[in-house]
C-alpha cells in the first residue's frame, strides 16, 4: 500500500514543478519573516525573485547548525510564537542547543511524513508499534507517535529503558512492530536470549531503525535475531524529526518526501553540488514548513541520491543509508576512516559479537587504531589458536575496508558497555596528549 | 475564560439528564462488549435496562485495580484492537501492570478535558508550557501535551530529569507555565536557589501540580518560591489520565468534567454511597470513553464532593484536594495516619525545609513513628537549644494533627533523598520484622 499515492508516485516533472513553486514560496517567507535570512540575503545581494529554477537554489548560502545556535532560542522562527504549538531541541553537548519550532500544520506534516514511512514498512491500522525511542526534547519518540496516530495503528509509547519489561511487553501485548536504534536493538536481542526468549514467541512484522548509523551486515544480524525485516528511518530535529526519509520493502534506499523536503548532495569541502549517485554531504531545504523553514541546511550526513523510480512503485528520490558524518570521520595517518567501515568488516567474521569500540591513540607521534571486539561465548572458551586466527581475520577484513592495519583485541563477551541510546563507538584519546 | 461553556456551565438538572443518558449508554456498551462486565452483571442478575435513574448506579458492582489486572493486557477493551490507537499502563510495582486503551475519540476527549483544565488555570495560546512530567507508558506527560495542543499554547516536552537544564530553559524560553509534582517542584526551587536564580528572572503565570498528594501549606510554599499561583490537576491512567479534574482560579476544589466522568464518594469499608461534602473514597465512571469504559472504578483516593456552583462561573461538581489514599493510610497504634497530616504540621514550623520522611517501626511489639525533617541551613548552624525547641514544636504540631506523639529527628540540610518523580514519604519497616 502507498499512503499518499499522489505525492509519492508523481512524475519527476510534476515533482520538479511543485518543488520550484514551493521553493520560491519558502525563500520568500524566510526572507520576509526570519531576520537571519533577511540579513544574509541582503548582504549577498540575493532576492527571492532570483529563484527562477530549481538550480537557482545554488545561489543561496548554506545554513549551519552554528547559525541556528546563534538564533537561540527562538530566533529562527518565521511566525509569531503564538502560532507555535510545540518545540523540540537537539542535545547540545557543545554550546547552546538548537531549538526547533512547529506550528499545528507542521505537526500535521510531520505526522504525514511518518505515516508514509510506516506504510512503506507495511504497517497499517492493525499493527501494534512498540516505540522504544525516547520522548522529550529529542524528536525521536514523537515522530513515530504522531505517524502511528495518523495511520491508526496502536502506539505503545514505552520509550527507552526498562529493558526487561520491553521484552515482556513484546510478548504480552503482541507487538508487531518495534522501533529502536540498532545498538539498543542488539542489547534487547541479547537480553531476550538471556531470558530464554525465542523470536518465535513474538510475531514481529517489521523493525524500524533510527537515529544511528549502521551497516547492511548489522541489519542482517538484527533481522535474524528478531525474525523480521528492518527498515531505516532518517530525520533531523532541525528539519522536523525522524520520517523525512524512510525505506520501503525493496530495502534499497530511503524514499525522501520530496514535496516537503528538497535534497541536494554537495562536496563538503568545496560546497559544490554533486551529480546523482555521487557520495557527499546531504543538504536539505524545508519546502512546506511554517514554524521554522530551513534553507540549504548542512546535515553533515554522508550519502548519495538516486532518482530512478523504485520497484515499489514510488517515484520519490531515494537516499542511500548514511555511511558516515562529515564530523565523525576519523583522520588516521591521513586516511579518512568511518566507524561504519570497521563495522562492515567485523560483521563478516563469525564467532564474534557485533559489539565493538574503536580506540584512537597517538603513542609516539603516530596515530594508532585499536579495535576492541567481543568474542562469542563459544569462541571465548575455545583454544587460543582459534582466537588468534579470528583476530588476524578481522585485521585483514578491516585493512581491506579502510586500507590501514589496525590492532584488534578480542575481549570477553559482554565487556563492552551497552548503550540505551546511541552507542559510543569511537574513543579518540589523541586530544588528551 | 471558560473553554467549553456549554459543558462547564450547564445547569445541574441538565447535567443530571445528560449523565443519565450517557450512563445508560456506557453500561450497555460495557455489558455487550466487555466479557468482564457481561459475566459479572449476569451473575448479579443486573441488566443495562435496570439503570433508570442516576441513583440506580448503586446497583452496579465496583471495579477494582485487581479486576483490571486480571484482564491484562487487553481484556477490558470494549472495541476491536484495530480501533485502539494508543495504550498506556500504570507502573505495576506489584503484580501485572494495568493497561489503559484509547481510541482516536478517547484521545480527543482527553485533550478536551485537559484543555478545559488549562483554561481554568488562565492559560491560552500565548503561553509556553514546560512539561516536566515523564512521557512513556505513564500518562503524566501526554495529558498536558495533548491539552496544550488543543488550546494552541507551546508545549516544551522536556519531561523529568536534566534538572539544571530545566531552570535554564525556564529563563531562556520564557516559560510561562510549569507542570510538576510538588516534590519535584521543591527540588527545582532548591536547585534554582543554589544557582542564584530569582523568581523575578522568570515570568511564570501558573504552576500545574500533579500526580502526588500535597497540602495547602505546600502550595503556599511553592507559590512563594516561584512567584505564581499553583493549581491542582487530578487524574488516573485507568480512567484516562491527568485532567479529569482541575482547579480553577478560585483554588477551592477541582472541577470534575462531569459530562465525561461520573463521580461518587463511598465509605471505603461498607461501599455505601456518602452524601455531599462527606469524606470518603472517590469512585469514578467513564461516561464517554470508547476504548475502555470503566464503571464504578474504586480510585482509593480520599476526598469529598461539593456541587455548589463556583465563583468562577462553572457549575460542574468540585472535589476536594486528595487528602489521602485508602492504601497509604498508615495504621499506627490503631490510629489512621496520613502523610498529608504530617506535612501539614511541618509546614507550620519556620526554620525547617519541607523535606521529610516518615519511618514506622515496631521495636518492642509497639508501633513507633519517627519523622525525619531537614533543618534549614541557618538553623543547623544555630545553637542546640534552638534546635531542641523546634523539634519539640514539630512534635506538638504533629500530635495536634494526628493525636499521637511521634519522635522527630532534625537532620542536616539536603540529607533527605530528593526524587525526580513521586517522593517516597513513608518507610514502613514493620513488615521486615
Ligand atoms: Zn521503494
Ligand atoms: Zn471554579
CATH code of residue A394: 3.30.300.30
Spell out which residues of chain A touch residue B87, defining contact as CB-CB under 8 Å: 154-156, 173
Cα–Cα distance measured from residue A380 to residue A387, given in angstroms and rounded to the nearest whole number: 8
Task: Establish if A72 touches chain B: CB-CB under 8 angstroms.
Answer: yes
H/E segment holding residue B6: helix B5-9
Residues 6+ apart with CB under 8 A from A346: A217, A352, A354, A356, A371, A373, A394, A397, A398
* Any domain includes B341: yes
Query: Would you state the cell numbers that stand for residue A98, as one nine-digit string?
Result: 538548537
Residue A137 or residue A392, greater confidence? A137
pLDDT in tens, B92-149: 555 678 999 999 999 999 999 999 999 999 999 999 999 999 999 989 899 999 999 9
Task: Say yes or no for a CB contact (<8 Å) between B86 and A172.
Answer: no
* Any domain includes B425: yes
* Any domain includes B378: yes
Task: Say yes or no for a CB contact (<8 Å) between B173 and A73.
Answer: yes
Task: Give me the mean pLDDT over the A130-158 stretch.
Answer: 95
Q: Which of the four pLDDT bands, split at 50, 70 and 90, describes residue B419?
A: low
> Quick one: closest CA in B to A150, which residue?
B85
Q: How many domains does chain A have?
A: 1
- Weakest-pLDDT range from B160-164, B189-193, B365-369: B365-369
Give the three-state DSSP class for B230. Answer: strand
Touching B: A residues 373-402, CB under 8 Å: none
pLDDT in tens, A211-232: 677 788 889 989 999 999 999 9
Residue B327 or residue B78, greater confidence? B78
* Any domain includes A27: no
pLDDT in tens, A175-195: 999 999 888 898 899 888 888
Task: Establish if A108 touches chain B: CB-CB under 8 angstroms.
Answer: no
Q: Which of the four pLDDT bands, split at 50, 70 and 90, describes residue A235?
A: very high
Q: How far is B141 from chain A (nearest CA, A)?
A: 9
Task: Give me the mean pLDDT over the B35-40 stretch.
Answer: 97
Cα–Cα distance measured from residue A120 to residue A250, given in angstroms and rounded to the nearest whole number: 9
Q: Which of the four pLDDT bands, split at 50, 70 and 90, describes residue B376?
A: confident
* Any domain includes A97: no
Name the closest ligand to CA A122. 1
Mean pLDDT of chain B: 89
Q: How many CB pairs under 8 A join A and B?
A: 89
Task: Establish if A152 touches chain B: CB-CB under 8 angstroms.
Answer: yes
User: By the 8 A CB rule, do B147 and B115 touch?
Assistant: yes
Q: How far is the CA of B116 from the centre of ligand 2 (A)?
A: 11
Task: Say yes or no for a CB contact (<8 Å) between B148 and A74.
Answer: no
Q: How far is A160 from chain B (nearest CA, A)?
A: 9
| Residue in A105, A153, A156 to test binding to B, most B beta-carbons within 10 Å | A156
* pLDDT score, position B433: 35
* Any domain includes A170: no
Residue A280 phi, psi dihedral angles, 5° rounding? -175, -165
Task: Establish if B92 touches chain A: CB-CB under 8 angstroms.
Answer: no
Tell me, what DSSP letter sits at residue B63?
A: B
B211: left (phi over 0), alpha (psi -120 to 50) or beta: left
Cα–Cα distance measured from residue B209 to residue B27, given in angstroms and rounded to the nearest whole number: 33
Touching A: B residues 171-200, CB under 8 Å: 172-173
Q: How far is B179 from chain A (nearest CA, A)?
A: 14
pLDDT in tens, B332-361: 776 767 777 777 777 777 777 777 788 887
* Any domain includes A345: yes
* pLDDT score, position B62: 98
**pLDDT at residue A42 above 60?**
yes
User: By the 8 A CB rule, do A213 and A324 touch?
Assistant: yes
Q: Which of the four pLDDT bands, split at 50, 70 and 90, describes residue A433?
A: very low
How many C-beta neighbours within 10 Å does residue B383 have?
A: 9
Spell out which residues of chain A touch residue B157, defining contact as CB-CB under 8 Å: 86, 88, 135-137, 142
| Residue in A91, A144, A154 to test binding to B, most B beta-carbons within 10 Å | A154
Cα–Cα distance measured from residue A231 to residue A209, given in angstroms and rounded to the nearest whole number: 6
Spell out which residues of chain A touch residue B82, defining contact as CB-CB under 8 Å: 125-126, 152
- Weakest-pLDDT range from A35-44, A107-116, B16-25, B88-97: B88-97
Residue B397 or residue B256, greater confidence? B256
Q: Which of the four pLDDT bands, split at 50, 70 and 90, describes residue A432?
A: very low
- Weakest-pLDDT range from A415-429, B178-192, B307-321: A415-429
Cα–Cα distance measured from residue A78 to residue A65, given in angstroms and rounded to the nearest whole number: 17
* Any domain includes A368: yes
pLDDT in tens, A265-301: 999 989 999 999 999 999 999 999 999 999 999 999 9
Q: Which of the four pLDDT bands, split at 50, 70 and 90, describes residue B155?
A: very high
User: By the 8 A CB rule, do B409 and B392 touch?
Assistant: no
**pLDDT at residue A109 above 90?**
yes
Task: Establish if B421 touches chain A: CB-CB under 8 angstroms.
Answer: no
Query: Would you state the cell numbers that stand for residue B339, as one nine-digit string?
Result: 502523610
Task: Establish if A149 touches chain B: CB-CB under 8 angstroms.
Answer: yes
Structural domain harbouring B363: 330-432
- Weakest-pLDDT range from B44-53, B60-69, B89-98, B103-112: B89-98
Task: Say yes or no for a CB contact (<8 Å) between A87 and B156.
Answer: yes
**ipTM attached to this prediction:** 0.83
Residues with CB under 5 A from ligand 2 (ion): B 248, 250, 310, 312, 314
Closest C-alpha among B274, B354, B268 to residue B319: B274
* pLDDT score, position A420: 56
Using CB atoms, pick whichever of B73, B136, B173 lies closest to residue A157.
B136
Amino acid at each position: 500500500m502507498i499512503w499518499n499515492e499522489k505525492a509519492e508516485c508523481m512524475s519527476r516533472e510534476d515533482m520538479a514543478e511543485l518543488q520550484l513553486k514551493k521553493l520560491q514560496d519558502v525563500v520568500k517567507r524566510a526572507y520576509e519573516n526570519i531576520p537571519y535570512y533577511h540579513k544574509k540575503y541582503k548582504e549577498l545581494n540575493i532576492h527571492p525573485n532570483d529563484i527562477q529554477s530549481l538550480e537557482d537554489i545554488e545561489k543561496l548560502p548554506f545554513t549551519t547548525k552554528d547559525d541556528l545556535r546563534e538564533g537561540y532560542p527562538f530566533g529562527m522562527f518565521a511566525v509569531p510564537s503564538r502560532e507555535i504549538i510545540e518545540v523540540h531541541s537537539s542535545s547540545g553537548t557543545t554550546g547552546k542547543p538548537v531549538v526547533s519550532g512547529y506550528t499545528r500544520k507542521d505537526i500535521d506534516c510531520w505526522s504525514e511524513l511518518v505515516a508514509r514511512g510506516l506504510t512503506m514498512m507495511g504497517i497499517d491500522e492493525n499493527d501494534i508499534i512498540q516505540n522504544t525511542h525516547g520522548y522529550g526534547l529529542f524528536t525521536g519518540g514523537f515522530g513515530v507517535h504522531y505517524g502511528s496516530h495518523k495511520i491508526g495503528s496502536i502506539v505503545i509509547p514505552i520509550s527507552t529503558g526498562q529493558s526487561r519489561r520491553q521484552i515482556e511487553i513484546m510478548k504480552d501485548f503482541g507487538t508487531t512492530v518495534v522501533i529502536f536504534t540498532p545498538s539498543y536493538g542488539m542489547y534487547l536481542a541479547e537480553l531476550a536470549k538471556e531470558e530464554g526468549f525465542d523470536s518465535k514467541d513474538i510475531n514481529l512484522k517489521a523493525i524500524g531503525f533510527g537515529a544511528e548509523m549502521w551497516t547492511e551486515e548489522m541489519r542482517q544480524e538484527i533481522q535474524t535475531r528478531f525474525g523480521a525485516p528492518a527498515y531505516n528511518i532518517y530525520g533531523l530535529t532541525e528539519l522536523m524529526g525522524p520520517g523525512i526519509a524512510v525505506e520501503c520493502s525493496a530495502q534499497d534506499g530511503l524514499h525522501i518526501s520530496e514535496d516537503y523536503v528538497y535534497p541536494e548532495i554537495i562536496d563538503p569541502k568545496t560546497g559544490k553540488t554533486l551529480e546523482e549517485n555521487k557520495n557527499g554531504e546531504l543538504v536539505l531545504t524545508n519546502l512546506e514548513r511554517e514554524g521554522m523553514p530551513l534553507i540549504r541546511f548542512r546535515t553533515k550526513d554522508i550519502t548519495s541520491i538516486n532518482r530512478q523510480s523504485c520497484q515499489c512503485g514510488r517515484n520519490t528520490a531515494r537516499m542511500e543509508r548514511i555511511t558516515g558524518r562529515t564530523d565523525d570521520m576519523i583522520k588516521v595517518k591521513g586516511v579518512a576512516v568511518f566507524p561504519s567501515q570497521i563495522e562492515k568488516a567485523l560483521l563478516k567474521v563469525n564467532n564474534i559479537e557485533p559489539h565493538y569500540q574503536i580506540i584512537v591513540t597517538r603513542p609516539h607521534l603516530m596515530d594508532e587504531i585499536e579495535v576492541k571486539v567481543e568474542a562469542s561465548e563459544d569462541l571465548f572458551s575455545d583454544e587460543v589458536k582459534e582466537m588468534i586466527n579470528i583476530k588476524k581475520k578481522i585485521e585483514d577484513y578491516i585493512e581491506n575496508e579502510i586500507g590501514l592495519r589496525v590492532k584488534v583485541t578480542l575481549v570477553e563477551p559482554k565487556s563492552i558497555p551497552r548503550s540505551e541510546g546511541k552507542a559510543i563507538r569511537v574513543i579518540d584519546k589523541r586530544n588528551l596528549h
